[in-house]
Amino acid sequence: MNAIEILFWLLSALAIISAMMVLLSKNPVHSVLWLIAVFFAISGHYILLNAQFLAIVNIIVYAGAIMVLFLFVIMLMNLNKESEPKRNFWRILIGIISGGSLLMILVSLIRQATEINNKNALMESGNIGLIKTLGKLLFSDYVVPFEISSVLFLSAMVGAVVIGKKE
């Protein structure tokens, strides 16, 4: 068992435990904080797979921007004990059935995916996820959409100013 394997198992355990805690914690703000832990653990996995760019983007976009939005929504909704919907038997049954169906589909998919049997992930050797590779592609084959997307961001920025500016 080398260092990478130890890290892998540690990160996996962290990801699964945090994911469970997202569901189990009573306080929605705690759930969100646990979700951030999940994202960090998954980012750790990406680094193990030699995909640094994906790892950083995952932290910046998910743990940064989207989580802040989540927190805002939770704070704005003003959740408390009284407004919590009552749990009844049918609600739980429906939840179990739909969740179980999803689990069944996922398990059967993985069982059927013979392509990935006995294959190892490209630990440390793959170079697809490196910033260098991505940058080369972005500035050669995809340079036109890359440049044109700047118009999109510019228009969004103008829009934000128009909407947000005080009259």
Partner 1 sequence: MNAIILSALGGIVMMFTGIFTQNKIVIKNIAIITLLLLLIGNLLHFYGIYMLHVDVKDMLQFNNFGLFFNTIAFTSTLIYFLLSGTDITKVGINVAEYFALIFFVLCGVSILTSFHNLLMLFLGIEILSIPLYILTGADKKNLKSNEAALKYFLMGSFSTGILLMGIALLYGASGNFSIESVPSTTSKVAEMANSSILTPLGLLFVFVALLFKVSAAPFHFWVPDVYDGAPSVFTSFMATIAKAVGFIAFIFLFESRIAELGPSSRIIIPFVIILTLLIGNITAVFQQSVKRMLAYSSIAQAGFMLFVLYSNNDISSEGILLYSVAYSFATIGIFAILIKMKDYTFEGYNGLAKKEPLIAAANTIFLLSLAGIPLTAGFFAKYYMLLSAIKANGQNALWLVIVAVLFAAVSVYYYFRVIQAMYFKEGNPEIATTNTSFKVILLALAAIIIFIGLFPTVVLNFLYF
Give the 3-state secondary structure of residue 125: coil
Residue for token pair 């490209």: 122
> Does residue 148 bind partner 1 (CB under 8 A)?
yes
The residue among 3 and 162 lying less far from partner 1, judged by its C-beta, is 162
8 A C-beta contact, residue 48 and residue 7? yes
Structure token digits, residue 152: 């999109």
Give the 3-state secondary structure of residue 119: coil
> Does residue 116 bind partner 1 (CB under 8 A)?
no
> Does residue 161 bind partner 1 (CB under 8 A)?
yes
The residue among 27 and 127 lying less far from partner 1, judged by its C-beta, is 127
> Does residue 143 bind partner 1 (CB under 8 A)?
yes
Residue 127 is which amino acid? N
Q: Which of 56, 47, 58, 53 is nearest to 121 (CA)?
A: 47
Structure token digits, residue 86: 């009552």
Structure token digits, residue 94: 């429906």
Region 20-49 residues binding partner 1, contact defined as CB under 8 A:
none
The residue among 85 and 164 lying less far from partner 1, judged by its C-beta, is 164
> Does residue 139 bind partner 1 (CB under 8 A)?
no
> Does residue 138 bind partner 1 (CB under 8 A)?
no
- Which residue stretches of the chain are H helix? 3-24, 28-48, 52-57, 67-77, 89-112, 131-138, 143-164
**Min dist. Cβ of residue 148 to partner 1 (A):** 5
Write the binding mask 66 to 105 for partner 1: x where contact by CB under 8 A, - elsewhere: ----------------------------------------
Q: Which stretch binds partner 1 (CB under 8 A): 36-44, 84-92, 122-130, 141-149?
A: 141-149
Residue 116 is which amino acid? I
Residues at the contact surface with partner 1, assessed by CB under 8 A? 115, 141-145, 148-149, 151-152, 154-156, 158-159, 161-163, 165, 167
